[in-house]
A and B are shown apart, each in its own frame.
Chain A
Amino acid sequence: MALAHPHVFIDAGVTLIVDDAGKVEAVEVTWRYDELYTLILLQDYGLDPDFDETLTEEEVAETLGFDLNWNSGFDGGLHLYRGATELALGRPEAVSLELRADGRMETVHRRPVTGDPGGEDQIEAQVYDEAFYVAFEATLPSGISGAGDCVPELVRADLDAAYERLQVELAAIGGAVAAEDNFPPVGAYFADRLVFQCVR
């Protein structure tokens, strides 16, 4: 989408699924939508017409996977690295969908991971929308399935540096006046990092 700066805010979490040899074989990604976009989704999909803020089983079953038809250059936003090697991610599969009591929609999807060489190198995960239409923050619980004691370190994006680079990119396209419609692809600068030290 060509729209300006973030219009959708999503809190994300990443859970790695690791095989016996210590290689990542799949990953589960949680997205928690902001309150306004949740409302928009509810209306778009005709959900919760009784306004009781809970979804029926039928509603969940019908809507599950609605956010997995990625297009317009968006590829799911997940980037996974073993050391310096980027791991290949397969097509997503819906896991769950829930309307939380705080009025935010939360979905989980799972993607197969291939090409993890294993070894001692740390695993690093980032979730971001390059176009920055969606602003992701990796603030939800993340971890490794079956290894509750391995909690990744959350390295927040250096917002000061990110805004500085945004400013540079804006200047390059003719200033902020130009950004309303040609927002520079700066999503990566605003991306948090999840660093898993204990996958081996």
Chain B
Amino acid sequence: MNPSMTASTDAIAIRLQAVSHTFAGRPALCELSADIRRGVITGLVGPDGAGKTTLLRLMAGLLKASAGSIRVEGLDPVMAGDALRLQLGYMPQKFGLYEDLSVLENLTLYADLRGVTGAAREESFQRLLAFTDLARFTERLAGKLSGGMKQKLGLACTLLGSPRILLLDEPCVGVDPISRRELWRMVSSLADGGMAVLWSTSYLDEAELCGEVLLMHEGRLQYSGSPQALMDSMQGRSLLLQDIAGNRRQVLQRALRSPAVIDGALQGHAVRLVLREAGVLPDLASLQAGPDARLQQVKPRLEDAFIDLLGGGPGGDSPLTEHMPPARLPEGVDADAVIVAEQLTRRFGDFVATDHVDFRIRRGEIFGLLGPNGAGKSTTFKMMCGLLPVSSGAARVMGLDLQQSASQARQQIGYMAQKFALYGNLSVAQNLEFFSGIYGLSGARQRAAVADMVRVFALHPFLSMNAGELPLGFKQRLALACALMHQPPLLFLDEPTSGVDPVSRREFWSHINGLVDKGVTVMVTTHFMDEAEYCDRIGLVYRGRMIAAGTPDALKAMVVSAELPDPSMEDAFIALVERDDRQREAT
């Protein structure tokens, strides 16, 4: 790509000075100042609600800032909108495509709108179709494309007219990891050609690859600069506790009690810790991790630094643990098969959404269904909850077949739906009352259960607030509280921490770890690779089938090679999916 560099050759493409924005009196951005340079990918990084989309829209001239100044190519994006629109490519979430138009029709529309005509259009189309590898699909309707292909078409439409600045709003949401890497390579080559690229994301692992990052939290800029520099500043503070004997969750819990530790998470069989100060280690003996346990320094991650910037993660003790009674199994239920899927299959017409899936989950185990959007996770999940009839095979929880006794089985399940299915226009207290009511609690027991949840999740200050207005982290807490009100022995979580900030995510998992210690069995779906590390076992779902299953470490071990001596979960996922694709082509 060769964006014309005729105008300003200044290295700074966008300059933000004390930018603030409020929506109906609510602050969305607060006093933000930063410079965005050409030639690198700048990551706009933060959880949902951090203000990323608002900032991008301000730069694109789609909103007018409440205060402060924004200069894009030296111009005000609102006042000089007409001049800037041709220099600026903005890809909104969902890619801004017309689903009932074909690939070529979408391209033609945006070419006309951006004034790319005649020979230049032919040349651009050829170049972009080759670049995005969409030349074979020009006649296909955009709505019929896969998530990854939509994303590439969205990018192609945005690149028409050779903009000098590219703004991408969460380009990788709902896209599988393979397409994510491909898009990254494409955008990198654009940045190398001198384009200024702003890439917004809530994935911190994605942000590590950026040349520069703007780390945002609750409308405030926490850090701007190179992610590597930020990670380097954490040097010596990230440790891996390996060769643990005994319960690693309890080891993590004990480690988080140590004043030397500000954050910790499970990583396969090991425990990853972040120290308050380099060199000041927690007392190994007090962790009771067994005689062979050893601490080893590892490369810091951006997430470590982000949590450090936010003042450290939460403690490892969940008040939920004291509150919940141990989960007991009824007589005659096999503790090794509390949740069972046998040759579970679901067809929608010709399409097989879930294809002969098998798994059994033990009492007190966290089992994860990991896969990209559209792989069949949700379909499998809905059958396990009795929300969707099975085409063939069986789904059982606690020995109850979900086809025959769905409502009895559901009484055993606490269910937390994707995006926290709360009633947005009911208050927090009303949500709690409603959900305890539908699980059959009434009178004094109901009042006690609601009071317990309010105490455990510290919801008291929010009781009269509408659930829809809660910050995302609190919505998640409330959703978990609603799911646990009837003290179920089984907990089903559907994408429980999507878009939530890392501190809230840690806190959420400390609750789950606490529940598991009480014998609660957890099934979770996720497309977050690092979330999969919390699971005892993972089933990798791809195109409706379970292509691999095992502990996180076992899955990673499956793909170890000379080029990949220490694969991450994402590496493992990609390698296993590609292996499966090759096998399918061979047969």
Same assembly: no
Q: Hey, which bits of chain A sit against chain B, CB under 8 A?
A: none
Q: Hey, which bits of chain B sit against chain A, CB under 8 A?
A: none
